Each structure stands twice: as C-alpha cells, then as structure tokens.
Amino acid sequence: MKKFIPAVGEADFRLLRRANYGFVDKSMFIRDVLADSSKVLCFPRPRRFGKTTNLSMLGHFLRKTDEDLSDVFAGLEVTRDPETMKHFQKYPVVFISFKDVKGKTFASAMKAIREQIVTACCDHIYLFDSGNVEDTLRRRLEVVRSGNPDSDELAFSFKWLSRALFEYHKQPVVILIDEYDTPMHAGYRHDYFDDVTGFMRTFMSACLKDNSALYKSVMTGILRVARENMFSDLNHIKVHSIVDSRYATCFGFTEQEVVDIIEPERLEEVRSWYNGYNFGGHVIYNPWSIINYIDEGKLIPYWVNTGGTELIELLALKQGMALSEQSSMLLNGGSIDVIVNPHIVLRNIHQEPEAFWNFLFFSGYLKSVDLQLIVGEYHAKLAIPNQEVRLVYRDLFRNWLRIRDPRYGYTDAFVEALTTGDAQTAQEMLQRIFLAALSHEDTKKNTSPENLYHGLVLGMLVHLEGQYEVRSNRETGLGRADVMMRPKNPAKPGVVMEFKALDAGDDLDKALKVGALQVRKRHYATELLAAGVSAVFEYTMAFDGKVAWVKRVEDVLT
C-alpha cells in the first residue's frame, strides 16, 4: 500500500494533487452533481468534513482555462466516466467563500463580505477590457471592482458577473459558494442576525434565481438555514443533508477509506476516537481528525480543538442545557429522543430545546443511533459520536461548574472525601455544590430527577479521567452501578455509588438502605476487587430538591 501523506490544512485540490499529498478519491461527487437535475444544490455538513476540498475539486474540473489540468485528475475515478468528462474545463466558474465572515458588528461583517465578492470579481479581470461585454454591465462591474460598491450593488454583483461571463465565454456559468451560513452564525452570536440575513437573502436570490446565465450552483455550509431566514425566495434549491442517503459518502471518510490509509492494528482505537457518524445510513469518520492522526500519530482531540464551540456554549448556558436530564443521558453514554428538523431557525434556537439538539446533531456534536421517518417526520435517537466529541461535553460541564464553583474548592473536596471514605465531608461538599449550582426549577423541570443528580455527580468527576475510568450505569457484578470510579493505578482506591431521588412522602432511611442493599446484593464492587485496587468505598446517596445525603454502605447496613 502506498504511504498516505496527509495534507493538513490544504484545501486547494490542484495544489494538493500536484504536491502528491494523499487524496481519498471523492471525484465521483463531480459526476453526481452534474447528473443532478437540480440547478442549485446545497450540502450542509459539519465543519472540517471536506466541503471546501470538494468544491475546489469541482471548480478545477469545470473551470474554463488555458491551463491543462488533466494531470491533476489523472488516475481518479471520474476520468473513467465519459459522460462526465465531456464537461471537463468547459464552464466559467465563480468561487467565493464566506468562512472568514465572523465580525462582531454588521459593519465588520459587510466589510469582509465586500472583500470576498470584490476578490471573486477580480479573478475575472479580463472582462473589464473586453469588447465582448455590454458597456452598462461592464460599468456596473467596474464599481464593484473599485472596492466601494454600496450594499445594493454588492448584492447584485454576482448576477452581473455571471451575465458578463456568459457574454464573454458563450457558456453558462457555475457559481460555487463555500460556508454560505457563516455570516448568519456570526450575526446570531453578535446580534446583527436580521441585518446580515437580509443582505444574504438578496445576494443569493439575485445570483441564483431566474438567472439565465447560470448552469449550476453548489453551496456548502454547516446548517440548512430555514426558508424564512434565508431561502424564502429560493424554492428551487435542493438540499442534501446528513439524513439523506444521496451524496452520503461524498463528505467524510467511509470505514473502507480509513482502512486503506491507516495501519490495520490501529483501527479499533481510531474507531473509538473519530468514528461514530451516520450520514444517510452510512458509517462516516471525521476526515480532519483522521488526517491529523496520520500526521501526528496521537489519539488526541483534533477536530474539537479547531474551535466552533462558542455558540454551543452560549446556547447551553442560555437554556440550562449543561445541566438537564438530556445532558445527563448523553454523559452517561445513553441517547435522547428528538424529532429531527433540518430547517434550523437560528433566530429562535435559544428558545427551543428541540432546536438546540438539532443544532448539535447537524453540526456534528451528536449522531443518530436510530433514525426513522414517521408520517413525514424524522424521529431519532441521538448520542455522543465518539471519545473526541465527548470531550466537548466534558468541557461544557466544566465551564458550567466553574461559574458556580470558581476555584473547584467544593468539587475537589468532594472527590477527596469519596476516595478516603469520608462520607460526612462528601455530603457537606455535595450539599454546598447543590446550593450553588442547582435551582428549584432545575429539580422541577426534569421528568426523572435521579438523572439530574446523576448527571451532576458524573460531571463533577469528568476531570479525573487521567486518574480514573469514571463510568456510569456500567454492568458490574449482577447489575449496573450508577457511578463507578476505577483507578488506573491499582494502588489507589475505587469508588461505587448508588443514587436514590426521593419523592414526596418517601422515607429517607429506607431509601438509603434500599440503595445500600442494592450495592451489596448485586455485588457492584466485583470489577474493582477483581482489578486488585487497594480499597473500595461503597456509597448510597439520596437527594431531595437541593438537599443531599451521603452514607457509607457498611454504615447503613450495620
């Protein structure tokens, strides 16, 4: 097998190929796009899943230029398709990326948009000196090229540019738009959403609707922004999201593609860290993480460290989702039931919990473990995809906890008490954390209060992953302990915890005893004892609102 040389951070297809970097052949994407009856296609995918490289590949294949690019495509599967090859280097292509439009004000966002549009127009500078372009059209483009067009001139610039290119080349135009929704994300975060969406709606409508010069347009982004936000005038766009089977393997790596480029003996650990996605029924790996892993050889979080979690953190804090029954289920390795709606309404996302989980799903922070189409609606069970993404939720919880326990004083003291058998101090510290971190609304709004406490305690322990394997609902002995702390160094003690949430009228002593008997009769300590840990501390805990009780199992049963 030829050694795969990763091109970390290189998205330009031509440069990538001519430098002999490794390339996972996605060239049949070109065939599928050209064969698609839709004139305008949109592909929402998580960030760093190969969107820009695919657009670059498509652009280089279709772009009419004096440079022969046959060598760039040599050996790729698309060259064996004669119908697709009829389109090779045939059309004028306009390419623009909005990935860097992240300004904190509408003015700064528009400045970045203007710069990208002007650059795209200047890529076709030969038009300005051509006698083949009608004078009025050329004068309009001159205003854009000057760098000082007003917002209306900017919004219609691509319509003018495509018509000029059509007049010059006598061929219809291909328009490629990368990361089209980045300006809307920035607008939502910095409170200019309506302004930037208004401009983008006009810009998109002008160049993509009723444009007789247009042959094909392809857009990529992270989310399918709802029609009322963005596509209200563009009802001819065909969107292929991650729930669709068509184009499912065009972005990201399939398992076979990963097998072909990594050492076979590393597949299992690579799978646990970077696999987990399900696009249209196909198993998909995160390509950014795979490429970086091949380059560095370390199992570390590559994708999540490239940024992009600020909006998630903002939304989680606004909605209280860092501490909820659903977040507890996810942290515990379980799944949550969500109606999947590809039309994300960013304006209302902070008010609608269902929209928040959809946002995480389409952004790549959750995966579907079961997806069914029922009476026109997708019903999904969503879970954390892999170890890398789980770190996002760990850090999200840490940030939430840091706000309530800034110096981690109570948290650290709680952990210390657990691992020394000091139930009284563990109870006092847990009580202080509850008083600081919980509201009565938190305990009321969760349909399963035990999950709430479960998630909170589990979240307090996530920072111990370097020292302990912290597992929830792990089968051990004859049942499943609520939380088990297994030390990576057997010289350290292990911990087993069983939780009971009290309902009105429940007897505290009885609840604690039920928990203690459950720990002993089901032999929850079996796995820890078999691992040869120095000591095992068993606890039964009960919760009522913002009050906590912690007891050693042996004390309850004596």
> Is the per-residue pLDDT at 228 higher than 80?
no
Please report which confidence band the pLDDT of residue 161 belongs to, taking 50, 70 and 90 as the band edges. Answer: very high
Regarding predicted confidence, which is higher, 502 or 309? 502
The whole-number pLDDT of residue 76 equals 97
Q: Evaluate if residue 2 carries a pLDDT over 80.
A: no
Strands 237-239 and 40-44: parallel
Find the helix or strand (DSSP H, E) in which 543 lies.
strand 536-544
Q: Locate all alpha helices (DSSP H) within 494-558, ordered by sequence.
A: 508-521, 526-530, 553-557
Model confidence, pTM: 0.83
- Percent of the chain with pLDDT strictly greater than 70: 89
Start-to-end CA distance of the chain, whole Å, equals: 65
Q: How does pLDDT run across 65-100, given as a tens digit for each residue?
A: 999 999 999 999 999 999 999 999 999 999 999 999
Nearest Cα neighbor of 346 from 200, 523, 551 is 200
pLDDT class for 176, splitting at 50, 70, 90?
Answer: very high
Determine the average pLDDT of the residues in 103-110.
96
The secondary structure of residue 171, as a DSSP letter, is S
Which range (105-119, 473-487, 497-511) has the least confidence? 473-487
Of 52-56, 164-168, 315-319, the one with minimum mean pLDDT is: 315-319
pLDDT attached to residue 320: 55
Q: Is the pLDDT of residue 544 over 80?
A: yes
What tens digit of pLDDT does each residue of 386-425 get?
A: 989 888 777 777 777 777 666 667 888 999 999 999 999 9
Q: What is the pLDDT of residue 30?
A: 98
Ranking 314-328, 452-466, 471-485 by mean pLDDT, the lowest is: 314-328
**AA letter at 220:** T
Q: What is the mean pLDDT of the chain?
A: 87
pLDDT of 354 > 90? The answer is: no
**Which among 277, 347, 359 is positioned nearest to 316, based on CA atoms?**
359
Residue 499 pLDDT greater than 80, yes or no: yes
Per-residue pLDDT band at 321 (split at 50, 70, 90): low
Q: Residue holding tokens 């059309």?
A: 91
Q: Please state, in angstroms and rounded to a whole number, the distance separating the CA atoms of residues 417 and 429.
A: 9
Ramachandran quadrant class, 229 (left: phi over 0; alpha: psi -120 to 50; beta: rest): alpha
* pLDDT for position 56: 97
CA distance 171 to 214: 9
pLDDT score for 407: 63
Answer yes or no: is pLDDT of 269 > 80. yes
Class of domain 405-557: alpha beta
Instruction: Given CATH 1.10.3470, say whether it is the number of domain 13-239.
Output: no
**Chain CA centroid to CA 527, Å:** 35
User: How confident is the model over 122-146, as pLDDT tens digits?
Assistant: 999 888 887 788 888 888 999 998 8
Write the pLDDT tens digit of every residue in 185-200. 899 889 999 999 999 9
Average pLDDT over residues 252-267: 91
Average pLDDT of the segment spanning 295-301: 92
The candidate with the shortest Cα–Cα distance to 33, out of 223, 249, 217, is 217
Residues with Cβ within 8 Å of 144's Cβ and at least 6 positions away in sequence, in order, are 117, 118, 121, 153, 154, 157, 160, 161
Range 513-527 average pLDDT = 93
More confident residue, 454 or 418: 418
Q: Please give the pLDDT value at position 206.
A: 92
Lowest mean pLDDT among 65-79, 183-197, 288-302, 434-448: 434-448
Tokens representing 97 are 């990326």
CB 335 within 8 A of CB 381: yes
Rg of the chain taking only CA atoms, in angstroms? 28
443 has pLDDT over 60:
no
Q: Are 208 and 326 within 8 A, CB to CB?
A: no
- Give the pLDDT confidence score for residue 442 in this predicted structure: 54
Closest by Cα among 359, 362, 382 to 313:
359
**pLDDT > 70? residue 307:** no
Rounded Cα distance, 234 and 13, in Å: 29
**Does residue 384 surpass a pLDDT of 60?**
yes
Percent of the chain exceeding pLDDT 90 equals 59
pLDDT of residue 451: 72
pLDDT range class, residue 322, cuts 50, 70, 90 = low
Taking every pair of Cα atoms in the chain, the longest distance, rounded to a whole number of angstroms, is: 99
User: What's the confidence (pLDDT) of residue 325?
Assistant: 64
The DSSP bridge partners found for residue 283 are 278
Residue 410 is predicted with a pLDDT of 84
Give residue 444's pLDDT: 53
Please provide residue 63's backbone torsions phi and psi, each rounded to the nearest 5 degrees: -65, 130
pLDDT tens, 18-42? 999 999 999 999 999 999 999 999 9
Q: What is the pLDDT of residues 5-19, one digit of tens each?
A: 999 989 999 999 999
Question: What's the CA angle centered on 536, arms 530 and 539, to 5 degrees?
Answer: 130
Per-residue tokens: 91: 């059309």
Residues in the chain, total: 558
Task: Kindly list the domain boundaries of the chain, sorted by start residue.
Answer: 13-239, 253-302, 310-388, 405-557
Question: Which pLDDT score, from 0 to 100, does residue 478 have?
Answer: 65
Answer yes or no: is pLDDT of 455 > 90.
no
Q: What is the pLDDT of residue 128?
A: 82
Structure tokens of 478?
A: 């004859």
